[in-house]
Structure 1
């Protein structure tokens, strides 16, 4: 039995979805002028409306923004909005005035989607610099994707799996390296249709990551969670 592993990794940086809406496509812009223009407009609206900074200068907020087909947007509550109330309320006020939203096109049709936008509020008041994006102040985790890929493939034992005939098995997994640098939230988000095979892949990932820690990604000196989407396509 000949097996070919096609393994791709994506870090989910800016777009996510709540259950009722799809992801905003990674190859499209959700704001005219992309993120530098978004943060520039955000900064100007804060100043023009004389909004006050948050007392906690280290608040880091992941905004879930529903981008509608009429070019308007609405910020939704999520886990981080509850933990960073000041940043959430400021973002709600600012986004009422933002008018450069671009709805996503999926299969050629404009579609309401959720964009996930990272906001470190203290960077958007007097500390703002022209051309700013969150990437300017982000430090990546030392999680090594290539090393991880090699280790997972070694731990997939096809001798424990029986597949009749020929074909492709495609699955998609997701997990996070959390603020403590540990594996978190491992799940299968797209099944191959074969429960035994899905479970085998999850076991291989768990064995690879078990009892290991990495330096988490950071915004300035604030640790943040990095989410990885891991599709597998296996030809048998």
Structure 2
């Protein structure tokens, strides 16, 4: 019996170790002391090392994984044009993320788990404009659907209900996509992944048909990319939460 329990325990540990959350659980932070302390220590690092400040229009939004061992892994950014336009901010972002140390993995039921987080790094406000208590998220004007969230939810329901019924999906999934700086939808996906190629193809085709330019998000007066993610509960009587 003890051997069976040990095998189960090791299997459970391996499962949690291999898992990477798409985002941090609510009320958990990726950095000791929270995001305000992250920006404070980023500011101190930049100033103490006398790094050069970027042009006032340069901004970068890195996506990173904080592993269960509290290590940083960079998620590859395929938008090379955006990197080129914001090369200084990109370089400073990597410099900061490689050298700060107080990273915190996510925790679920007492287990430390790797998780993805996204940041806004605007060098001007981290250096010459820095003020104690700074949090970049407080300066974001979030993306909006032109006719409002309720209209988008209705369109989503009307366009996708038959697909969910056809594939007899039940349970909770999450829809994720990004609104680019020009208001277009990019990088759509459903997670956890549905292991049905036909469903995924139908889902993406339907989303493509209802694509419409959104009002992009802004950091102050600079357009930025913003992630949209919301849970959907699938059942015979489709509902959203």
TM-score range, shorter chain: 0.7 to 0.9
Alignment of 1:137-148 (within 5 A): 137-143=139-145, 144-148=148-152
| CA distance, structure 1, for counterparts of residue 73 and residue 164 of structure 2 | 48
**More relative contact order, 1 or 2 (CA 8 Å, 6+ apart):** 1
Tell me which protein shows more helix as a share of its residues: 2
Q: Does 1:152 align with 2:151?
A: no
**3-state DSSP of counterpart to 1:112:** strand
Aligned residues: 213
TM-score calculated relative to the size of structure 2? 0.72
TM-score calculated relative to the size of structure 1? 0.73
- Where does the alignment leave 5 or more consecutive residues of structure 1 unmatched? 1-19
Q: Deviations over 1:18-45 (max 9, x none)?
A: xx95434232111112111111111112
Alignment of 1:61-140 (within 5 A): 61-73=60-72, 75=74, 78-79=77-78, 82-83=83-84, 84-140=86-142
Q: Deviations over 1:52-105 (max 9, x none)?
A: 112x32111112334244444355653468433322332333345423221222
> Would the alpha carbon gap of residues 63 and 199 (structure 1) be closer, same or farther in structure 2, given more than 3 Å must change?
closer
| CA distance, structure 1, for counterparts of residue 201 and residue 71 of structure 2 | 42
Q: Does 1:30 align with 2:30?
A: yes
> Would the alpha carbon gap of residues 192 and 45 (structure 1) be closer, same or farther in structure 2, given more than 3 Å must change?
closer
- Where does the alignment leave 5 or more consecutive residues of structure 2 unmatched? 1-18, 237-241
| CA distance, structure 2, for counterparts of residue 151 and residue 40 of structure 1 | 42
Match of 1:41 in 2: 41
Alignment of 1:194-213 (within 5 A): 198-209=200-211, 212-213=212-213
**3-state DSSP of counterpart to 2:210:** helix
Tell me which protein shows more strand as a share of its residues: 1
| CA distance, structure 1, for counterparts of residue 196 and residue 79 of structure 2 | 35
Deviates further, 177-186 or 78-87: 78-87
1:50 Cα offset (Å): 1.4
Asked whether the equivalents of residues 171 and 198 of structure 1 are also in contact (C-alpha less than 8 Å), the reply is: no
Asked whether the equivalents of residues 25 and 106 of structure 2 are also in contact (C-alpha less than 8 Å), the reply is: no
> Would the alpha carbon gap of residues 157 and 179 (structure 1) be closer, same or farther in structure 2, given more than 3 Å must change?
same
